[in-house]
Structure 1
Amino acid sequence: MEKLSRGLITLLNAAAGLLFAAAIAINFVNVVGRYVFHAPLFWAEEVTTLLVIWSVCLMSYRLTANGEHLVTDILRPFLPASLQRALLLAVTAFGVAATGFVAYYAYVVVALVARLQQLTTVAELPKEVANGSILACFALALAGSLVRLLQMADTRRPLPGAEPAEVDDAILATEGAK
């Protein structure tokens, strides 16, 4: 499963990078068109925004699977290792439930705008492309959370992505000052 997860992360990183590069290219062409030829691309801002949003949303799997997402981690450093694992399991399980809930309702919204055949205001793209980014984001975060939960269930392994380097350094500095 780890090999599959790493492969998916590589694929999503590449896709996010390509989308972000496309957004930069469109922005560059729009700036040149606007200030050199006085003919901007009327759809550039909307498409650029969508591409950047999609590039960010595609990273949600990696962030959750590796434990790189934002988390308030005030108590954990002060708990014994067994309770740290239990806390992380509980938080990750809650994350699975929360991302599943949001992914479901994002699907409901995407299905609705698809059925209504709504279009974006300027570029007239199907709105399911725009709203689909939220569905993709939370579906990928759900998959990443499930992978992380399965990794954490194996008690022989160290906690995956448990401590960012900055937290390790801060804890060591605090302990050294005592």
Structure 2
Amino acid sequence: MTPILRVQDKISWAGFILGASALGAIVAIYAFEVISRYVFGAPTLWASDFVSFLLLISVFATAPWLTREGGHVAVTIVPDMLPAFRDAILRAGFLLAAGVCLWASWICLGENIYLYNRGTETLTTIRIPKWTLSAFITYGLLNSGLYFLRLAFQRGTPGAHDA
């Protein structure tokens, strides 16, 4: 494997750890909110906002690693019914998925730049710059698209792990 692909894998693994940590933080925040609200009668103002932010981060930070590992949604009825064309159908599907992800990441990048230039913030109790959240969407789509390209052009059976 080339060094650049190893770097992509390390970045994606770090994103996976970040996303998993975000899920853990969601659980902790909800537990704190429940105790704060029902035991002490003092609900937080920030818990719902942070859970929303962390949910977005968890989805888009983990998506590339899950794509690498074949954890994405895959409906394989057509390739399974046509075994002679299975590899070609899977490769075409990976190319289509790559195109959609890369196209969407390009649109998101433009939106990130727009949000940054305008200084747009979230309309939540805890206000943060929106681009800091939308950057995770761009990252997840871009890196997943690159993994779909790797899957489409890898040697051997498409979708088999290439570590």
CA distance in 1, matches of 2:104, 2:82: 31
CA distance in 2, matches of 1:24, 1:140: 27
- Report sequence identity in percent: 21
| Aligned-residue offset at 1:10 | 3.3
Which residue of the other structure, out of 100, 109, 114, is the alignment partner of 2:102?
100
Instruction: Confirm or deny: 8 A CA contact 1:57 1:134 kept in the other structure.
Output: yes
| Aligned-residue offset at 1:125 | 1.1
- Amino acid of the structure 2 residue aligned with 1:78: M
Matched positions, count: 157
The alignment status of 1:47 with 2:40, answered yes or no, reads: no
**Gap runs ≥5 in structure 1:** 163-178
Match in the other structure for 1:114: 116
Instruction: Confirm or deny: 8 A CA contact 1:106 1:131 kept in the other structure.
Output: yes
Runs of 4+ in 1 over 3 A off after TM superposition: 5-10
SS in 2 for 1:59: helix
Taking only aligned residues, the RMSD between alpha carbons, in angstroms, comes to 2.1
SS in 1 for 2:77: coil
Deviations 1:75-112 (A, max 9, x none): 1112134x111111111111111111100001111111
Pair 1:132–1:10, CA change in 2 (3 A): closer
Deviations 1:112-136 (A, max 9, x none): 1111111112210111123223212
**Rg: which structure is higher?**
1
Match in the other structure for 1:172: none
Match in the other structure for 2:159: 160
Match in the other structure for 2:41: 38
**Gap runs ≥5 in structure 2:** none
Q: Give the 5 Å matches for 1:69-148.
A: 69-81=72-84, 83-122=85-124, 123-148=126-151
Question: What is the TM-score of this pair, normalised by structure 2?
Answer: 0.84
Which residue of the other structure, out of 22, 39, 62, is the alignment partner of 1:19?
22
CA distance in 2, matches of 1:103, 1:149: 19
Instruction: Confirm or deny: 8 A CA contact 2:91 2:151 kept in the other structure.
Output: no
Pair 1:109–1:9, CA change in 2 (3 A): closer
Instruction: Confirm or deny: 8 A CA contact 1:66 1:148 kept in the other structure.
Output: no
CA distance in 1, matches of 2:56, 2:16: 14
- Amino acid of the structure 2 residue aligned with 1:158: T
